[in-house]
A and B are shown apart, each in its own frame.
Chain A
C-alpha cells in the first residue's frame, strides 16, 4: 500500500496558521471555567484559623524545613560551639590544673619562685594548644577531614579560636593573681606571655612546615625545650640585663608585642594553608615498577 505523505507546501502552510485555543476566554482573559470557580469561591468566606493552631503549624513547618535543609549555613558562633564539643577533655583539665598550681603557690611562695613556675607553665600552655590542634595529623585522620566542607585549615582555625580563648582566660586570671601579690606587668610579660607567644609561634610554624609528617615527639620538643631554657636562663637574665640603656621594663613589652605578632602571623599562615600533604617525597624507590 502506498502511503501519501503531505506535500512540503502544505506543511509550510499549516505552520503559518495562528494558534487558536480551543478553550473559550472570558473578557478578563481567564478561561470561563476558572471564572466560574472564582465566583464560587467568592461566595464563601475562608475559615478563621485559631492562632494556636496557626502557631503550631508554623513551628512544625519551620522544623521540617530545617530537617530538609541538611546543609544549613552556620554562624561563626554556631561553628565554634560545635567544635568546642569535640575538644578533648584533657585540654580543659590541664588548663584548670595550671590555674590551680598558680593559685596554690601564688600566696605561699616568694615572687622569684613564682616567676620560675610561670616561665615553665607558659610553654606548657602552648604545648596543650599545639598538641590539640595537631591531633588530626597525630591520629592520621587529616585526610578525611581535608575532604569535608570545613577543610583542615578551617578546622585548625576553629580549634585555635577555642584554645586561644581558654589560654587568654587562664593568663588573665593568672595576671590578676600576680598583680595581687605585687608582681609587675612587665615581669608577667617576661615570665608568662613572652614564653607563651614565642613557643606558640615556633610550634605553629613547625606544624605548618611538617604537615602530615607531624608526630607527638616533634610537637612536644619545641615547648619542652623552651620550658627548660626558661628555667635556667630567664631569672639570671632579668638581674643582669642591659641593652643600650633600655631597661627590661621598657624593652620586654615591646618584645612581647613582637612575639604576639609572630604568633598571630603563624596562626594566620596555618589557617590559610590549604594543602598539608608533604609533597617532598623521598620514597621514589618504593615505586616498584621502576
Chain B
C-alpha cells in the first residue's frame, strides 16, 4: 500500500501554495511539520481530493485518486483543521450520520460508533448535544469520525489542537495503536506530538518539502548548530536580538540560554544535542513559533 505524490503543484492565481512536491508514503505515521502558510492544509486537501491540483498527480496503489473516486474515499479518514458540527446532533447521532455518508452498514455503524466513543472517552456523553461540548471534546469526536471506516489512509490536520496534555497523550497512544498497516499523515505545530509518534517526518516550507526522513536523520541536519550558554540577566536582550533563542531557564543569578546558531554565539557556549524543536526553530524562526 502506498500513496504516491508526483510533481504536485497547487497555484492560487499567481501564488504557488504547493510547489512541485513529490513523495511516496507507505505504511506508518508521517508527521508534517511547517509554519502557518507552508501549504500543509492545501496538501492535505489535495490528498483527500477535496481540492484539485494545478499540476501533478496523487496515486493510491498506482491509480490516480481522482479516478479511484469513492473507492479511494472508502479507505480514507480525514480530520480537517477547522470544522464544525450540526449543533442539534448528539455525539452518537453525529457518528451515525458520518457512518451513513461513509456508506457503512447500520449494524456495523452502531457498534463501531460506541467503540470509538469509548476510545475517545465520550461514551458517557454520547446522548448529549454537541453544542454543549468543550473544544477538546469536539476535537475528540472529530478524531472518532475519522476512524469510523477503519481507514487505510488517515489524514489529520492539527488533530491535537485544543486538547489538554492528558488528552494529547491519549490521542498519541490511540494513533500509535491504530497506525499498524495504515498510512497516517498528521500535521501539527506541537512538535512533541510528532516526535513521539511519527516514524517519518516531512518538513515543509513555502510549499516544498525541505526535509524528509526519520526524526533522528532530520535532527542530525542541525547538528552543531544548537548551543547552550550561561549568561547574566542583563545580556539576554542583546542576545535575543542577535540570535535565535530556543529556550531560556533561570538558574540562580544566571540564565541558561539555548541558542540556535550556525556559529558559536559566545566564548563559553557549549554545543548540545539538538531535538526536533530546535530543528523547527532553525527552519521556521522567521515565521511562527511551535507550542
Contact = CB atoms under 8 A, between A and B. Distances in A.
Nearest to A68: B108
B50 A150 contact: no
A71 B105 contact: yes
A83 B142 CA distance: 20
A284 B16 CA distance: 10
B106 to A, nearest CB: 8
Contacts of B145: 144
Contacts of B13: 280-281, 284
> Which of A148, A149, A289 has the most chain B CB atoms inside 10 A of its CB?
A148
A72 B105 contact: yes
A149 B102 contact: yes
A70 interface: yes
Contacts of A74: 103
Interface stretch (A27-35, A103-111, A134-142, A229-237): A134-142
Given A148-B98, A287-B37, A140 B82 contact: yes
Contact of A139 (B51, B84, B103, B287): B84
Interface in A63-112: 66-67, 69-72, 74, 82-83, 86, 88
B86 A71 contact: no
A52 interface: no
> Which of A86, A88, A144 has the most chain B CB atoms inside 10 A of its CB?
A144
Contacts of A151: 70, 73
A144 B45 contact: no
B124 interface: no
Given A149-B70, A150-B70, A288-B288, A82 B100 contact: yes
A147 B76 contact: yes
Nearest to A147: B78
Contacts of B286: 289
B70 A289 contact: no
Contacts of B102: 148-150
Contacts of B240: none
B19 interface: no
B287 A289 contact: yes
B206 A289 contact: yes
B84 A140 contact: yes
Contacts of B287: 288-289
A145 interface: yes
Interface string A152-176: 0001000000000000000000000
Q: Is the interface of A mostly helix, strand, loop or mixed?
A: loop
A150 B287 CA distance: 38
B86 A70 contact: no
Contact of A144 (B36, B83, B108): B83
A143 B42 CA distance: 12
B86 A150 contact: no
Interface size band for A = 35 or more
B134 interface: no
Interface size band for B = 35 or more
B196 interface: no
Given A135-B86, A286-B37, A289-B287, A281 B15 contact: yes
Nearest to B87: A139
A48 interface: no
B86 A141 contact: yes
A279 interface: yes
Nearest to A69: B105
B255 interface: no
Given A139-B86, A149-B73, A289-B287, A70 B105 contact: yes
A286 B41 CA distance: 14
A71 B76 CA distance: 13
B108 A67 contact: yes
B161 interface: no
Contacts of B48: 146-147
B107 A284 contact: no
B232 interface: no
Interface string B84-124: 11111000010001101111110110001000000000000
Given A135-B86, A139-B86, A275-B52, A71 B103 contact: yes
A284 B15 contact: yes
A75 to B, nearest CB: 12
B149 interface: yes
A83 to B, nearest CB: 7
> Which of A71, A74, A151, A155 has the most chain B CB atoms inside 10 A of its CB?
A71
A281 B51 CA distance: 13
Nearest to B51: A277
19 contacts: A67-B105, A86-B97, A88-B86, A139-B84, A139-B86, A139-B87, A144-B142, A146-B48, A146-B50, A147-B48, A147-B49, A150-B70, A275-B52, A277-B50, A277-B51, A284-B13, A288-B37, A288-B287, A289-B206
Interface of A: 66-67, 69-72, 74, 82-83, 86, 88, 135, 139-141, 143-151, 155, 275, 277, 279-281, 284, 286-289
Closest 7 CB pairs of A and B: A140-B84, A70-B108, A147-B78, A287-B37, A149-B103, A143-B80, A281-B12
